[in-house]
Structure 1
């Protein structure tokens, strides 16, 4: 994040030790000073105290282009007049905190809150490697952000809310902290057909407490897997044929296909296509979406690929070659790039 220290505080000698700690975050690559605030530092008592060499370091870190343009990152203003716990101006992406609070705020990496940090976190790192976004991987290694495990969709809004309010929050907000800009939320859409939005309530709840919320356009993270990755993961035989049949589906069908369970109902066995099409409990939109699937393909796709498919994102031997992977569709690549940018513009 970008940091600015109010001019009056910069001249208060008792606060110099606090600013020295802030400087350690700059040196480690965790944060940078706002470019427009450098002149304030140069002409201040703290600027005189740290000397020209440190001022040069501050300038270099502020002008670094290693990550997404720092001008787009949130601004943290260190101000003695800020209330305890800080205050956030969400529209301006600005958080104002008093000096001692600043240490706590700047210590916290940005949190990407996901349903399962092992699989969803691995998904984002896998995709970053696949499309050669080294800035994203480097930012993760530098602890500019972390993944936070919500334990399923039902925990996403609570996990985001606890960032600012804590556990057992007081009604007067006495222990609350202005940390809305310190977390973003990503979740599967679970959309079984175009226009299906089963997670709207979760998305709306998270938008009240997070810097941003990204609901995947496809049904789940597995729907973004390239053909090559699936073929490398699965043994020879029917599973490989299933991969080819899956990629014979239309883009819309693949986007909403349940890769783990296929067309089976929960805890049910495989069903013939005719039975599926006649099943009144299955939404008409779902039946219509897959009406033209050929019988031969149905025989392979009805059972899905099983629950172990997401291991592709986790297991080291299945990590992609950097920048050498073609994602299933252009829109999938564009969406992945958008998600990675959202994270990098938040840190």
Structure 2
């Protein structure tokens, strides 16, 4: 049975109204002070609460980009653009210096080969050797594969099934937003039950639903599992970025991002990060400018995105639980 562990209270100078980042900080504080302490898949251990919601207005270029520590928004943006290609191999990310997914293929390689290769050396081999990357850099049918190429199967007269044409959920939702904005079916789903066991990590940010209110596009993201200290800052940026791109492609104004978490947790070995970040106060209001409108949502480049007025406090490093 999980036990409730309540550590010493971390003082807060402000709860509630004010800078939108206080939502995130107060959620972090709530989890650390009142969360249920539990064993987890990684063996690290967490404090966890069930269910949380954050809301951010994206009007006027506003973005949920944390200022109490540096968030590498270009890294998160490159990951989002990679998702939209449907690619599942880490090599394109590695060649751009994006390290988000490196630990999972490395852990699989060490487990299956028994070679105790350092993470940095493994990643260098992924970059240098395309054949090695094909064998060891693939993550299985994660996020982007489901978003733009959800598998289908056709029944044959001989009683067997054959692979059909993949479904591009992103393209379908854009067409639906343009032609039937009042629909309640503007959904991009990543949780393909039949393929979960082939994924390096089943999707955490799993369900995106879009909602048109007047000329504003809202996005509701349901995230089944959320590492609040390391993952959520990236997840908020990425979901807001996707909403901004979808809005631009459908000639709508950005509305609200409503983020909903299921198992919302902090890892026990992130205490130094949590303590340090909760001692800081948010400041400034960074905005995102998209400098051009590509022909489709699949044609954006990293150079199309410019962030203004972002002066964050220093980054806080902590280990990723794999």
* TM, length-normalised to structure 1: 0.26
Higher strand share: 2
Greater RCO (Cα-Cα under 8 Å, separation 6 or more): 2
Higher gyration radius (CA):
1
* TM, length-normalised to structure 2: 0.27
